[in-house]
A and B are shown apart, each in its own frame.
Chain A
Amino acid sequence: MAILELNNVSKSFGVGSNKIDVLTDINLSVNEGEFLAIVGFSGSGKTTLINLINGLHFPDQGEVLLKGNPIVGPGPDRGVIFQNYSLLPWLSVYSNVKLAVDEVFPKMSRSEKEAHILKYIEMVNLTPARDKKPSELSGGMRQRVSVARALAMNPEMLLMDEPLSALDALTRGSLQEEIIKIWSQNKKTAVLITNDVDEGILMADRIIPLTPGPNATLGPEFNVPFERPRDVTNINKDEQYKRLRNEILEYLIEVGSTRRQVSDQKYILPDLKPTMPGRIRLGRKKQKVKYF
């Protein structure tokens, strides 16, 4: 049964000649308990798509339905993990999670709340850092806090907007596994936006590519048939994995190249003369001169 449906959704920004049609004619249906990955180039409108689902933006045309009802705004029923963590820097890890818990469960008793918060901090392995401020944490740890905050709201759906793209490859790998492990505990519906095909294959049940914008739309869907839990090293040797990966990549490269032909505009570069070294260049940042 579809928990989330997007029917003929279009979204553009700006007016007149500045108008940019970001998304055109998006049709998507996400089943309950499913892990869906949307893969696309950067700048193709992935974040706009997730903002349409979480309610920060509204579609110009078409409708976004959550359990059959149109979305009227953001809500704690859809937990969002932002690309840039969006933690409040003046609050500790514990308080950042508590802010969300206070909002979603206002009737919970104090001790219940504390247990609830600590459970999710423990789930993302941050118990030793629970009283630290975000500025004292590494990028991976910050994203864990963001994950804990989203999960602690007990959302019906988890929306992840390139949650791991700012992390290094090793941290990313371990966080991928952790998110999957946490997800598999209660199999909430999850929508992952990513630019990494491997990440999609490793984590999702279904991958849908987003064509490059403007006028981005969803491409054909690819089912990921691998059994869970998936092991990175085993899956890497799997022939089926390689085939699936190549299919998706080929599709993305193909739509990418057709797009490039479409926008084959000639750009005239300004006629500039290179500055010779040793010449005085005006407008350069002055360096501090030490006289003594």
Chain B
Amino acid sequence: MKDKSIKTLKMFGLGFLEPLIRIFSGEEPAKNGKIFFTRALLPLLSIFVFIAIWHAGAMALYNSEADARIEKAREEQGEEAAIAMQECIESGDISCQPNTLPSPAQVYGAFQALCQDHQSISEKKDDFKERVSETNEQREAQGLDPITYTGRPSFLDQIGTSLKTVFAGCLLAMFIAVPIGIIIGLSPSLRTSFNWLIQILKPVSPVVWLLLVFMIVKTVITDPSLDKSFIISFISVGLCAMWATLVNTSMGVSTVDKDFINVAKVLKLNIGQNIFKIILPASLPLIFTGLRITVSVAWMVLIAIELLAQSPGLGSFVWEEFQNGANDSNAKIIVAMFVIGLIGFLLDRIMLSVQNMMSFNKGMA
């Protein structure tokens, strides 16, 4: 039971909870307590230190901006205006707050505001659905498209859109890169002939890929009912992120252990069986390593691509908030930053567990 749960935890990247389980089962409490302290409590402590430094820094920036505002008022409008400005800032009035790096508390407040916003928007959505349900039934009977909610998406909706884009992009990357990687990996002459092309295209910036995809998609897709910005952004994400999988797959296929190839030769496997029974399973660990890199690259380039493609997602959220320049916009951008980081971390952990599931112990075979 204990060993099994530890194994499961480790598989999902929660290995730092291992000593806690051992403590609860009464196994060397002193030693495991120390391990738990170093592996789980110290990282938490470092986060607290980070927040403290951030808070201090934000305060310093806030004060210097406030001083600058007061000074400016004094220079331009005289002593009275300066005193009025100081009172205004101290009273916490929104109209004259210094606009600078938000403090952790402000960011938390923005986070709560975003959650509330999500609630109110989903209420509106439900309300809208109820109101148009009858009309929609009629429209459906007439063979017309139903009326959908076209209001502003909430923060959580935008996270959902971003995840959908990354998922679609990674699937595209997988369906392009894995087969091509296998074909390239099987033949040394194909590998050398494609090598330069891959090396040239690999470092191309996501923005350029987006423009390239835009050029093609705007000509190819003329149907206005399709969500063009989504198509453009997921294809660009896929194209940016597929190179790691492509290179890793071709490398995995071309470096299959010679012993396995000898087995295939002795058994006289035909080419299809050889690929599916020997080469593909043998290169699966490297393919999944590549896919893991693909997922993290995809998530990283997504923000930039969404920002440019005007696809509704975290990227455009960040951009809109920056353009918006409202009092809590900066705090909302920081919230988005942490959400992006956290989701990227989770995606990586998921891919790591998949990768661990796929890898066999090569050294022991």
Contacts of B281 in A (CB 8 A): 88, 90-91
CB distance from B280 to the nearest CB of A (A): 10
| Count, chain B residues at interface, CB 8 A | 20
Contacts of A75 in B (CB 8 A): 266, 268
Within 8 A of A (CB), among B264-283: 265-269, 273, 277-278, 281-282
Chief secondary structure at chain A's binding surface:
loop
Contacts of A56 in B (CB 8 A): 262, 265-266
Please give me the residue from chain B that is nearest to A139 by CB atom: B364
Contacts A82-B259, A84-B259; A90 near B360 (Cβ below 8 A): yes
Within 8 A of B (CB), among A116-166: 133-135, 153
B360–A135 contact, CB under 8 A? yes
Please give me the residue from chain B that is nearest to A83 by CB atom: B259
Contacts of A78 in B (CB 8 A): 266
In the complex, what distance in Å separates the CA atom of A89 from the CA atom of B262?
14
In the complex, what distance in Å separates the CA atom of A89 from the CA atom of B282?
8
Cβ of A256 under 8 Å from chain B: no
A103–B259 contact, CB under 8 A? no
Cβ of A74 under 8 Å from chain B: yes
Chief secondary structure at chain B's binding surface:
helix
The 8 Å CB contact of A133, one of B278, B282, B284, B360, is B360
In the complex, what distance in Å separates the CA atom of A133 from the CA atom of B284?
16
CB distance from B148 to the nearest CB of A (A): 47
A80–B266 contact, CB under 8 A? yes
Please give me the residue from chain A that is nearest to B273 by CB atom: A103
Which residues of B line the A interface, CB within 8 A?
259-260, 262-263, 265-269, 273, 277-278, 281-282, 284, 360-362, 364-365
B267–A103 contact, CB under 8 A? yes
Contacts of A90 in B (CB 8 A): 281-282, 284, 360
Contacts of B364 in A (CB 8 A): 89, 134-135
Contacts of B265 in A (CB 8 A): 55-56, 73-74
A99–B277 contact, CB under 8 A? yes
In the complex, what distance in Å separates the CA atom of A181 from the CA atom of B91?
96
Contacts A88-B260, A134-B365; A99 near B267 (Cβ below 8 A): yes
State the 6 A-B residue pairs at the shortest beta-carbon distance, nearest first. Answer: A89-B365, A135-B364, A86-B259, A135-B361, A89-B360, A103-B267
Please give me the residue from chain B that is nearest to A91 by CB atom: B281
Interface string of A65-100 (1 = CB under 8 A from B): 000000001111010101011111111000000011
In the complex, what distance in Å separates the CA atom of A134 from the CA atom of B260?
13
Contacts of B277 in A (CB 8 A): 99
Cβ of A54 under 8 Å from chain B: yes
The listed residue with most A CB atoms (<10 A of its CB), out of B262, B282, B364, B365, is: B365
Contacts of A87 in B (CB 8 A): 365
B361–A103 contact, CB under 8 A? no
Within 8 A of B (CB), among A150-204: 153
